[in-house]
Amino acid sequence: MKLNELECPLCAKENECAVFSGQKVSDCWCHQQSFPEPSGLSHLSINAHQCLCQSCVKQMHKVGENNQSVTKK
């Protein structure tokens, strides 16, 4: 199976990666984005060369925040 660099590996929608579109990494939406800790992503089957989309990253942050609020109680 061929890897599609412009497709989010989680939802299969366009990830809007500037690098794979021929632009500089500093032009990419992810350049200023924070990402969840990699240890929390170990259950996901993501290749290091696949970029997530903004929606999935936002969703992962929400899940992480919910998990932290549950463990703090």
Q: Please give the average per-residue pLDDT across 9-20, as a whole number.
A: 89
- Using CA of residue 49, residue 54, residue 57, residue 59, what is the dihedral sign? negative
Better pLDDT: 59 or 70: 59
- Residue 56's Cβ-count burial label (10 Å; 0-12, 13-18, 19+) is middle
pLDDT at residue 73 is higher than 70:
no
Has this prediction a pTM greater than 0.75? no
Structure tokens at 35: 């990402």
- Is position 22 within any domain? yes
| Count of domains observed in the chain | 1
Better pLDDT: 10 or 63: 10
- Is position 7 within any domain? no
pLDDT tens-digit readout, 41-59: 556 666 666 788 999 888 8
- Is position 70 within any domain? yes
- Is position 3 within any domain? no
Give the domain extent around 23: 12-34+49-73
